Structure 1
Amino acid sequence: MSLLYWIIAASLLGGALSVATAAAFAFTARVAWVPHLISYAIGALLGAAFLEVLPNAVIASGDATSIGKVILFGLLGFFVLEKLVIWRHCHIEECEGHEQIEPEHGAAVSHDHGRSGLLIVIGDTFHNFVDGVLIASAFMADIRLGMVTALAIIAHEIPQEVGDFLILIHSGYSRSRAFMYNLLSSFATVVGGLLAYFALSRAEGVVPVMLGLAAASMIYVAVADLIPGLHKRTELKATVQQVVLIGLGIASIALSHRLIDAFVSGV
């Protein structure tokens, strides 16, 4: 299986699987599961960033200091983008532009704050395009790394897509239209992957930089956007659940590396 096919397959599967899974949650109103998905997603993102993406970026570059600078630049860049409201990577229980989820009752309280469903679709499309670039960059460094990166992206996409579905429905879209718009938006992942493949194949030195930015993206989303939302629940039971699920997310990345190694060896 060629590298290009891997990128296309991972981009298609990542986008479509995230949307389909999010639709299943949104359509059955099981939004009470979202906080648990978020805890798991934090572990998956941090595990992928520190156990897979960063080590490969340093190996590909041969200069740990330069990769550290890329990560610092990436973290600052994502902060500025978020401040400018180009795209708000929001998965937490209450924030501007997203629904407030009540975990105990599984109900969504409307907090649209004037942000239209169309803006959500546009923002999601941009975000999916960037995900495609990150997937392609990882695959161009190593097939195993590409698979792990795709899995991590899927893990954190599902909670976000659930929130997007709720916003679209609140904005007046039917459930079927909300699903179609999110599905069409997910194809931007493939576009980003294809463009990155043809661009990066002509500039291999850019791959370590893209991997560094991918790690920065994962770390920023986990630490700046997801973790603060967990601190809103301070009871001991919730804290223990969060720690366990974060640990499971990290462990799943470590386990997936072994499983993917075995799978790729057999291909």
Structure 2
Amino acid sequence: MSILFSILLATIAAGLISITIAATLSFKFLSAIVENMVSFSVGILLATAFLHSLPEAFEAPGVSPTTLFSFLLAGILFFFVLEKIALLRHNHHHEGDGHDHHHGHDAENAGKSGWMILVGDGLHNFVDGILIAAAFIANPGVGILTAIAIIAHEIPQEIGNFMVLLNAGFSKIRALIYNSICGLLSTIGGIVGYLYLDDSAKLIPYLMVFASSNFIYIAVSDLMPQMHRRFQLKESMKQIVLILLGVALVLSLSFVA
């Protein structure tokens, strides 16, 4: 079996398995309580960024912490501007459309930014594909283990993605289709990694930081403000517990992987 075929098989399998498991858990057990799962998603997104992606990026040899922090700042500002443009466009086209909405209704819905998480997820999957390619080129056995590890850490992240998309008004089918398309980017990353490993490997830390900036921005800018609207003590305690559960899930699967 050629190395390229092994990479293609591993990246496709990694995407399909993680998305299938996450979709099954999200749609069968979590979609009925998606409002509470927003807090769970915050824990997953922040833990993925701060405890997985960013440490890997900063531990890469030959990278400047100042440069990586600059990419993190640039990413957060980029997603702010991107969302601002989307909000202005959505507001221009839909406000005053004759429907009985309060002023800002459509802008609030657009501001949930479920679609924006697909950008970060796509980048993250692309990087995963490069990592799988690098591992297979080094040693096919290591490649298989790397794919398994990536599946393990992708499952909680994909659950978080599904919850964000459902919370933003995506139907289950639409969320599954868009997430599956993002999953295919790992295969593209695998091909790029196989063909241009040296060049693409140098970009990995910066892509991971940029993807992390997306997760951080969505959690802090879009999801946490929603949580603050439910300020009763009981609701607040539930939110804190769910955030910690999201963090614990990422940590536990990181140890397993």
The reply to whether TM is greater than 0.5 is yes
Q: Which residue of 2 aligns with 1:8?
A: 12
Q: Which residue of 1 aligns with 2:123?
A: 133
- CA pair 155-230 structure 1, distance change in 2 beyond 3 A: same
Q: Is the 8 A contact 2:129 2:189 kept in 1?
A: no
Deviations 1:67-114 (A, max 9, x none): 11111111111111111118x9xxxxxxx99xxxxxxxxxxxx99967
Q: Which residue of 2 aligns with 1:233?
A: 230
Choose 1 or 2 for highest CA Rg: 2
Q: Is the 8 A contact 2:129 2:188 kept in 1?
A: no
Superposed, 1:142-221 pairs within 5 Å as 143=146, 146-147=150-151, 149-163=153-167, 167=169, 180-201=173-194, 202=196, 203-221=200-218
Q: How many Å separate the matches in 2 of 1:114 and 1:42?
A: 23
Q: Does 1:37 align with 2:37?
A: yes
Q: Is the 8 A contact 2:68 2:209 kept in 1?
A: yes
**Matched residue count:** 219
Q: Does 1:52 align with 2:55?
A: no
Structure with the larger helix share: 2
Q: How many Å separate the matches in 2 of 1:147 and 1:17?
A: 10
Q: Which amino acid aligns with 1:162?
A: L
Q: Is the 8 A contact 1:132 1:189 kept in 2?
A: yes
- The Cα RMSD (Å) is 3.6
Q: How many Å separate the matches in 2 of 1:11 and 1:243?
A: 30
Q: Does 1:73 align with 2:70?
A: no
* Cα drift, residue 12 of structure 1: 2.2
Of 214, 232, 252, the match for 2:249 = 252
- CA pair 130-236 structure 1, distance change in 2 beyond 3 A: closer
* Cα drift, residue 18 of structure 1: 4.7
Q: How many Å separate the matches in 2 of 1:19 and 1:179?
A: 9
Q: Is the 8 A contact 1:14 1:150 kept in 2?
A: yes
| SS of alignment partner, residue 205 of structure 1 | helix
Q: Which residue of 1 aligns with 2:98?
A: none
Q: Which amino acid aligns with 1:84?
A: I
Q: How many Å separate the matches in 1 of 2:256 and 2:71?
A: 30
Q: How many Å separate the matches in 2 of 1:65 and 1:145?
A: 29
Q: Which residue of 1 aligns with 2:141?
A: none
Q: How many Å separate the matches in 2 of 1:54 and 1:36?
A: 27
Q: Is the 8 A contact 2:162 2:175 kept in 1?
A: no
TM-score under structure 2 normalisation? 0.70
* Cα drift, residue 214 of structure 1: 1.5
Of all paired residues, the percent bearing the same amino acid is 26
Q: Is the 8 A contact 1:133 1:196 kept in 2?
A: no
| SS of alignment partner, residue 84 of structure 1 | helix
* Cα drift, residue 20 of structure 1: 4.8
* Cα drift, residue 154 of structure 1: 1.0
- CA pair 35-68 structure 1, distance change in 2 beyond 3 A: same
| SS of alignment partner, residue 126 of structure 2 | helix
